[in-house]
Amino acid sequence: MVFKLYSPYPLEENDMSNRGKKYMKLFLLVAFVGMSGCAELSELRNLNRRQAITIRDQSDELSRLKQQLSSVSDKLKSSEEEMNKLRKLAKSIGEGVTVRDTIEGPVLLFPEKILFDSGMAVIKPGGEKALRKMAEFLKENPTTFIRVDGHTDSDPIIRTKHLWDSNHHLSAARALSVFHFLTKTENIGEGKVHIAGFGPNRSIASNSTSAGKKENRRVEFLIISQPAALPPRESSITTEEEQVLVEQPEEAPAEEAEAAEPVAADESSEATEESEEK
């Protein structure tokens, strides 16, 4: 019988090797988890940062929209107050004066019969009384400007053809008469009153009926909060030819340049002689 003896040391080495492998796996697992956790934490931080930026931008946008809403609300309130003033003025004048809102702004409408006789541009006594109330309104509202618009129907001028070349001529003459009355008689500043004559171009009713023509013959007072200003002269647009002239200044003729050279030479020689004498 043969007996085999085994040493216990190889077994311990194997155990240690196995334990080392286990520890290594455990270490790698912990390191992997840690790295994953760091990556997730970094991603969370970036996500929080992006959310914070988004919230800030949304907050700024919300604040801007609130300001716009407040501005629009103030304008609407101011516009409504202005319309109420005009309605009150129209009611005090009476005789068919009305108020309407347009794209350009609120308008006070005077029928032709209040201010003028048919085909004429001389203000009637009753029209002067109505215009005095308009002047009082302008004096009570110093920041208000107006544009006086003359309008006619589409019928050609026949009876007063010796006075007016066209309906545009008549409408402009009526607007000018109102301008002169307000500025000269009622002392309203000329800069506060603008005029325009539209003839039959801006009808508010059909010119195919007598009633419609009657509505179209009118004078309107457009209320302007701030008149448009012309751009400064420096910013005016120049033509291409003017631009070329500015960029390329005209050169002196060759003959003049040649003639100037001897003169310059003579002047320099004279200056040298004078310096030598001194």
What's the pLDDT at 265?
47
What's the pLDDT at 66?
72
φ, ψ dihedrals at 201, nearest 5°: -75, -20
On whether the CB atoms of residues 225 and 233 are closer than 8 A, the answer is no
What's the pLDDT at 173?
97
Pick the CATH number of 81-224 from 3.40.50.880, 3.40.50.1980, 3.30.1330.60, 1.20.1290.10: 3.30.1330.60
Q: Report which DSSP code applies to 4.
A: -
Q: Which helix (H) or strand (E) holds 250?
A: none
CA distance 30 to 48: 26
Output the six-digit token pair for 38: 């760091």
pLDDT in tens, 35-93: 666 666 777 778 888 888 888 888 878 777 777 666 555 555 557 888 899 999 999 99
User: Residue 118: which of 222, 220, 213 has the closest Cα?
Assistant: 213
What's the pLDDT at 258?
53
Q: Which strand ranges, in their side-by-side order, compose the sheet holding 145-151?
A: 98-101, 106-111, 218-224, 145-151, 193-199
CA angle 74, 76, 77 (to 5 degrees): 65
Look up tokens 């609120």; give the residue: 106
What's the pLDDT at 242?
55
Task: Label each residue of 99-120 as H, E or C.
Answer: EEECCCCEEEEEEHHHHCCCCC
- Residue numbers of the chain with a pLDDT score lower than 70: 1-23, 25, 27-40, 68-78, 227-278
